[in-house]
């Protein structure tokens, strides 16, 4: 006999099974019979929501951490500059930047006068990229070679936005009712219990509308 496999909340999970049960799920706080199912659905929602919005509401790295990104050269009033897009990641702080390319001697540790995390306003409390001063880009550039930047900082949002947590709880409750309730076959001899319906493999449109408001735009400043 093998032990039952227990589903655990992943590091990126937005909420807990206790919170889902508390918010009108119809499941008593002391009833743990659905906890594995709830944790599975919380993990699924959290992953789908971050992939859809391309925001790092919860990080999987241990902060501080270093990540490597490509540097996109561009020109400002005819002068060289560089932009690092963090993509699906977000940084609460940036504490160090090292520039790399295949040009001789082109591994350069930048001081804070050589780069600027953006947006400078940190509208959501995070940076989505950084600008790099032009003369550093010019000295590191080689035709056809991508310059990379090793960016060190604290990643992810300090807290998951309340509206996203609420969306997670309400969606998990819906998925739970749709996918994990069973029909009793006791009234029909020989009938077996069965799922009523599988939960959808996508986010509800209302949730996507909320997440659309968090999507990144590239900022050069």
> How does pLDDT run across 40-59, given as a tens digit for each residue?
999 999 999 999 999 999 99
Q: Which of 48 and 176 is assigned the larger pLDDT?
A: 48
When pLDDT is cut at 50, 70 and 90, the band that residue 217 belongs to is: low
CA atoms within 13 A on the CB side of 62: 0
* Same-domain pairing of 74 and 113: yes
Same structural domain for residues 189 and 204? yes
- Is the same domain home to 95 and 124? yes
Q: What is 162-187 written as a DSSP string?
A: HHHHHHHHHHHHHHHHHHS-EE--TT
Whether 165 and 194 share a structural domain? yes
The whole-chain average pLDDT of the chain stands at 84
Confidence grade of residue 117 (pLDDT, cut at 50, 70, 90)? very high
Considering the chain, what percentage of its residues have pLDDT values greater than 90? 58
Residues 6+ apart with CB under 8 A from 157: 55, 56, 57, 58, 90, 92, 124, 125, 126
Question: Is residue 66 classed as helix, strand or coil in its secondary structure?
Answer: strand
Q: How far is CA 81 from the centre of its chain?
A: 28
Residue 11: inside a domain: no
76 and 139 belong to one structural domain: yes
The alpha carbon torsion through 34, 35, 38, 39 (nearest 10 deg) reads -150
Residue 7 or residue 141, greater confidence: 7
Question: Do residues 187 and 126 share a domain?
Answer: no
In a domain, 90, yes or no: yes
pLDDT at residue number 135: 60
pLDDT at 121: 94
Name the token pair of 167: 């969306």
Residues 129 and 105 in one domain: yes
pLDDT at 182 over 70: no
- Per-residue pLDDT reduced to its tens digit, 63-89: 999 999 999 876 665 567 889 999 999
H or E stretch at 148: strand 148-155
pTM over 0.85: no
Residue 1 lies in a domain: no
Is the domain of 43 the same as that of 78? no
Do 88 and 115 belong together in one domain?
Answer: yes
Give the end of a domain, one of 107, 133, 155. Answer: 155
Mean pLDDT for 6-11 is 93
Q: Is the pLDDT of residue 218 over 80?
A: no
For 158, other C-beta atoms within 10 Å of its C-beta total 9
Do 36 and 93 reside in the same domain of the chain? no
pLDDT: which is higher, 137 or 208: 208
Residues 102 and 42 in one domain: no
pLDDT at 172: 94
Domain count, the chain: 2
The pLDDT assigned to 30 comes to: 87
In a domain, 139, yes or no: yes
pLDDT band at 173 (very low <50, low <70, confident <90, very high): very high
In a domain, 220, yes or no: no
Phi/psi region, residue 70 (left: phi>0; alpha: psi -120 to 50; beta: rest), is: beta
- The residue range of the domain holding 187 is 17-56+160-212
Question: How buried is 219 (Cβ within 10 angstroms: 0-12 exposed, 13-18 middle, 19+ buried)?
Answer: middle
Whether residue 12 is contained in a domain is answered as no
Domain boundary among 122, 155, 188: 155
Residue 162 makes CB contacts below 8 A (sequence gap 6+) with none
pLDDT at residue number 100: 87
Q: Between 220 and 13, whose confidence is greater?
A: 13
Assess whether 150 and 129 both reside in one domain.
yes
């Amino acid at each position: 006999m093998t032990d039952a496999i227990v589903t655990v909340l992943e590091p990126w999970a937005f909420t807990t099974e206790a919170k889902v049960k508390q918010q009108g799920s119809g499941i008593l706080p002391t009833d743990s019979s659905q906890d594995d199912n709830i944790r599975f659905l919380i993990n699924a929602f959290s992953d789908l929501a971050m992939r859809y919005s391309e925001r790092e509401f919860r990080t999987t790295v241990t902060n501080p951490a270093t990540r490597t990104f490509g540097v996109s050269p561009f020109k400002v009033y005819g002068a060289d500059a560089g932009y690092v897009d963090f993509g699906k990641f977000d940084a609460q702080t940036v504490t160090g930047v090292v520039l790399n390319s295949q040009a001789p001697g082109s591994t350069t540790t930048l001081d804070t006068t050589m780069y600027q995390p953006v947006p400078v306003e940190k509208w959501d409390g995070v940076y989505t990229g950084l600008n790099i001063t032009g003369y550093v880009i010019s000295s590191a550039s080689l035709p056809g070679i991508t310059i990379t930047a090793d960016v060190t900082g604290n990643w992810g949002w300090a807290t998951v936005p309340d509206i996203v947590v609420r969306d997670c709880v309400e969606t998990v409750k819906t998925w739970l009712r749709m996918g994990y309730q069973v029909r009793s076959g006791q009234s029909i001899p020989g009938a077996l219990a069965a799922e009523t319906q599988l939960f959808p493999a996508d986010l509800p449109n209302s949730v996507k509308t909320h997440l659309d408001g968090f999507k990144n735009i590239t900022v050069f400043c």
